[in-house]
Amino acid sequence: MRLHYIQHNPFEDLANIALWAEDSGHHVSGTKIYAGEMLSGKADFDLLVVLGGEMNIYQEDRYPWLAEEKRFIRGAMDGGKTVLGICLGAQLVSDLLGGRVHKNRYREIGWHKTRLTSAASYSKAFRGFPDSFMAFQWHEDAFDLPAGAKGLASTAACANQAFELGRNVGLQFHLEVSRQSISRLIENFGDELPPERFVQEREEMLSAEDHLKELYRHLKIFMKNIELMVDQD
């Protein structure tokens, strides 16, 4: 499988997806769009992974490359590619499918219990998942479900955490994080950690070794499911 990713800043990369892809023998390429790398002409992939970032999807005046990125993702969808959006990426995918992106009621940062909905039992992406699991969160915006999509997961702070529509999958939460990638988020966005109901302290996020091990097990199941979606007729 050929995986291509879009990266929006220097410190939110594929993290453990890269580890999974290497172990699985997949080819990985990427576009660091924040650094001026162009997406045009890059269509030689089977799976597009759109990563997280600190920007809002509507800030094209501040991040002009967002317009190009939206066109590229739309082209991948129209071309029958499998598209996985994570956090900001999920918001972009939802928007392109007709969903609305808006400020969430709560800022949600850290480890939070994520519960699958009854609709997830019919999901290809979440086949083999437990009914609830600890996932890592770092967001203040959220997406509405695109028309025709079912909500697949939720948390106490955010009703829409995942959706699947055709070959398009969106995750508000992060399955891909490692201890190192969490450290980079804290280093770069540490000022976003005021004492709020759903915002954890640095030490709590970084000391969750059991959560990290469990999360990687879930990531491997999830990415294998995505791989099967890519291979489907």
pLDDT tens digits, residue range 48-94? 999 999 999 999 999 999 999 999 999 999 999 999 999 999 999 99
Catalytic site residue 12? Answer: no
Tokens of 224: 């294998």
203 classed as catalytic: no
pTM, to two decimals: 0.97
Which residue in the list 8, 174, 218, 227 is annotated as catalytic?
174
- What b/e sequence results for 191-227 when a residue is b if at least 16 CB atoms lie within 10 Å of its CB, and e otherwise? eebeeeebbbeeeebeebeebbeebbebbbbbbebbb
pLDDT-based confidence at residue 233 (cuts at 50, 70, 90): low
Catalytic residue list contains 87: yes
Give the tens place of pLDDT for each residue, 147-177.
999 999 999 999 999 999 999 999 999 999 9
pLDDT at residue 43, rounded to an integer: 77
Indicate which residue of 12, 69, 87, 227 is catalytic: 87
